[in-house]
């Protein structure tokens, strides 16, 4: 089975925060839905000797049905509570479209991380809209 091609320049995906068991959870979802699972650790993008180096910084499962599910371990110092541990992720390479969404979503809300270039090479930001919904925007390779 192959993953369906996505002809759209940006995508809307669920992003789940886990309390230290993201690898186990994402591997479980891979067994449920099939597809291709990619996992990146905190150690790959930071200190490989840090206590959280082996934890998942970003995981993405792309399924044969065209679903995409993302998840990560919650970084030290941040809380995770079952029931409010999901965020909506907007990602793609249409920078103008995604910046427009960012401006509208973050207006009258709270910006947790400004939309700016990150260590992995993409432009990324996180905010909570005026209704309390958490959003992440990732613009590929800007």
* Of the candidate ranges 5-14, 22-31, 37-46, 111-120, the one whose mean pLDDT is the lowest: 5-14
Which domain covers residue 109, as residue numbers? Answer: 10-139
- In a domain, residue 3? The reply is no
- In a domain, residue 75? The reply is yes
pLDDT of residue 116: 97
- In a domain, residue 2? The reply is no
- In a domain, residue 4? The reply is no
105 within 8 A of 81, measured Cβ to Cβ? no
- In a domain, residue 1? The reply is no
Mean pLDDT over 101-112 rounds to 92
- In a domain, residue 21? The reply is yes
- In a domain, residue 72? The reply is yes
- In a domain, residue 5? The reply is no
Alpha-carbon dihedral angle through residues 3, 21, 78, 50, given to the nearest 10 degrees: -100
* Of the candidate ranges 60-69, 73-82, 95-104, the one whose mean pLDDT is the lowest: 73-82
Give 61 or 81, the one with higher predicted confidence: 61
Name the pTM for this structure.
0.66
57 within 8 A of 23, measured Cβ to Cβ? no
Q: What is the pLDDT of residues 45-55, one digit of tens each?
A: 888 888 889 99
> Is pLDDT at 96 greater than 70 in this prediction?
yes
> Is pLDDT at 2 greater than 90 in this prediction?
no
Overall domain count for the chain: 1
pLDDT of residue 26: 92
In three-state secondary structure terms, 105 is helix
The CATH number that applies at residue 76 is: 3.10.180.10
Q: Where are the beta strands (DSSP E) in 1-142?
A: 10-18, 36-41, 56-62, 68-73, 86-92, 110-117, 123-128, 134-139
């Amino acid at each position: 089975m192959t993953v369906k091609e996505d002809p759209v320049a940006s995508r809307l995906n669920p992003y789940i925060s886990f309390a230290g068991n993201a690898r186990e959870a994402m591997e479980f979802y891979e067994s449920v839905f099939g597809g291709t699972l990619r996992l990146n650790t905190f150690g790959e993008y930071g200190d490989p000797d840090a206590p959280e180096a082996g934890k998942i910084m970003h995981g993405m499962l792309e399924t044969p049905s065209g679903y995409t599910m993302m998840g990560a371990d919650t970084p030290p110092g941040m809380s995770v509570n079952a029931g409010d541990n999901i965020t909506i992720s907007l990602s793609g390479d249409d920078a103008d479209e995604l910046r427009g969404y960012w401006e509208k979503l973050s207006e009258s809300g709270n910006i947790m991380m400004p939309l700016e270039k990150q260590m992995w090479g993409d432009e990324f930001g996180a905010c909570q809209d005026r209704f309390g919904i958490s959003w992440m925007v990732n613009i590929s390779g800007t």
